[in-house]
Chains A and B, each alone.
Chain A
Amino acid sequence: MLTKKPRTRATEADRETAMDLVFRALADRTRRKLLDLLYAENGQSLGELCQYLDMARQSATQHLEVLEAANLVSTARRGRHKLHFINPVPLHDFYERWVRKFEVNRLTFLGDLKTVAEGKKT
């Protein structure tokens, strides 16, 4: 809510910084592809992900690190493998802030339109 004052300035700055990292991470087609791959099959190793990417393992690792820094990917170890998991929570924060409020406004607008249109009939 824009009308609601955040509890502290630091919190607001932290949220903006976190959002910067998300946008930066998403502004790259390889990283979006990595998210698609993890969405299709969660918990893949670097080796598994590299099968679908036309690049050196080292480059793929760097892309995964950017996604991890943005909290879009989390990892867990299984034996000697590091598995990657898509973390959709920041995407949901993004959705709440940049998508849903506009959908709500559109619905309100349609509601108003209906009221006006139906009012004219009488």
Chain B
Amino acid sequence: MTRVVTKFIYVTYIAASREKVWEAITDADVSRRYWAQSNVSTWRPGALWEHVRPDGAAVIAGQVIESDRPNRLVLTWAFPTDVPDEAQASIVAFDLETVGTMTRLTVTHDELEEGSDMIRRISQGWPRVLSSLKSFLETGTPLDTWADSEPRRPASK
């Protein structure tokens, strides 16, 4: 059986340094401010990482594949129940480039299965998260990231 995969590329320009953007993605407390969920890991290649709700339940999890602060971070990305099955994992790469006084943040979400629940969720999620991240770093105020979104998938821990 062929698994038909697709990818999405999201780009945003943020008036902040790459170091600030990197911190916003990888620091548990900072990521919670604009994402409403925390990214938790040591961010060393091979380490596990989790995307954790305020109640402590992981909603997304995976492994750190590449970590080159503050240039590039690559992770596997799956629902926690699917983590043991590596074939289920999609791949997320964060690329940070300096453009003038801004940081160009590119999020490439690859190896997504066509028609999957994950695609539906991330297509709704990334634009919200990246708009909120930009607003948070530029003005100090995040957006109401998950307003009017569909109910989140029940977490498993």
CA distance A88 to B126 in the complex (A): 9
CA distance A43 to B111 in the complex (A): 13
User: Are A92 and B11 in contact, with the CB atoms below 8 A?
Assistant: no
- Is A113 on the interface with B (CB-CB < 8 A)? no
Binary CB contact string for chain B from 130 to 147 against chain A (1 if under 8 A, 0 otherwise): 110011001111010001
Give the total of A residues in contact with B, Cβ under 8 Å: 25
Q: Chain B interface: which of A7-15, A29-37, A57-65?
A: A7-15
Provided the pairs A11-B138, A74-B106 are in contact, do residues A85 and B9 lie with their beta carbons within 8 angstroms? Answer: yes
User: Are A93 and B13 in contact, with the CB atoms below 8 A?
Assistant: no
- Is A53 on the interface with B (CB-CB < 8 A)? no
Interchain pairs with CB closer than 8 A, number: 65
B93: min CB distance to chain A, Å: 11
CA distance A71 to B106 in the complex (A): 11
CA distance A121 to B111 in the complex (A): 58
User: Are A89 and B147 in contact, with the CB atoms below 8 A?
Assistant: no
Question: Using a CB–CB distance below 8 Å, which chain A residues touch chain B?
Answer: 1, 4, 6-8, 10-11, 14-15, 18, 42-43, 71, 74, 76, 85, 87-93, 96, 100
Between-chain CB contacts (< 8 Å), 20 pairs: A4-B139, A4-B140, A6-B138, A7-B15, A8-B15, A10-B101, A11-B139, A42-B6, A42-B8, A43-B6, A74-B11, A87-B9, A88-B123, A88-B127, A89-B10, A89-B130, A91-B127, A92-B127, A93-B131, A93-B134
Question: Using a CB–CB distance below 8 Å, which chain B residues touch chain A?
Answer: 6-13, 15, 101-102, 106, 108, 123, 126-128, 130-131, 134-135, 138-141, 143, 147-148
